[in-house]
Amino acid sequence: MARFAIGDRVRISDREEARHHRVPAYVKGHEGVVERICAAQGQPETLALGEDGEPIQTVYRIHIPQTRLWPGYEGPNGDSLEIEIFEHWLESARC
């Protein structure tokens, strides 16, 4: 079951992770909106160690305005970044 729905505001966790993971530093701690639900996939942190990746995580595409990611962004306000984030790296941003 997907914890978040399309349109939900979410925050990408800014925790540190020593194992292989697929969350680049530049998006950690940023807020965005769920643009779509992409897939359900195993966790890279344990798959990379030859384990089973369980529990499987919903993968979301998160829409983030560029002007929020980069102070002094050169382009117009509408420009955006979309990135796939596994559910265990997302927190609700509604509270």
Partner 1 sequence: MTDEHHSHKHPLQTDHPEPSSHHELMGIALNDLLVSKGIYDNAEMNAMIESIENIEPNTHGARVVARAWVDPEYKAFLLKDGMSAVESLGLDPGYAVLTAVENTPEVHNLVVCTLCSCYPRFLLGRPPVWYKSKAYRSRVVREPRAVLREFGTEIPTGVEVRVHDSTAELRYIVIPMRPAETEGMSESELASLVSRDSMIGTALAGRP
Shortest distance, position 79 Cβ to partner 1, whole Å: 5
- Nearer of residues 13 and 80 to partner 1, judged by Cβ: 80
**Under the rule (CB under 8 A), what is the footprint of partner 1?**
22-24, 26-27, 38-39, 41, 59, 66, 69-70, 73-76, 78-86
Shortest distance, position 54 Cβ to partner 1, whole Å: 15
- Nearer of residues 7 and 78 to partner 1, judged by Cβ: 78
H or E segment to which residue 44 belongs: helix 44-47
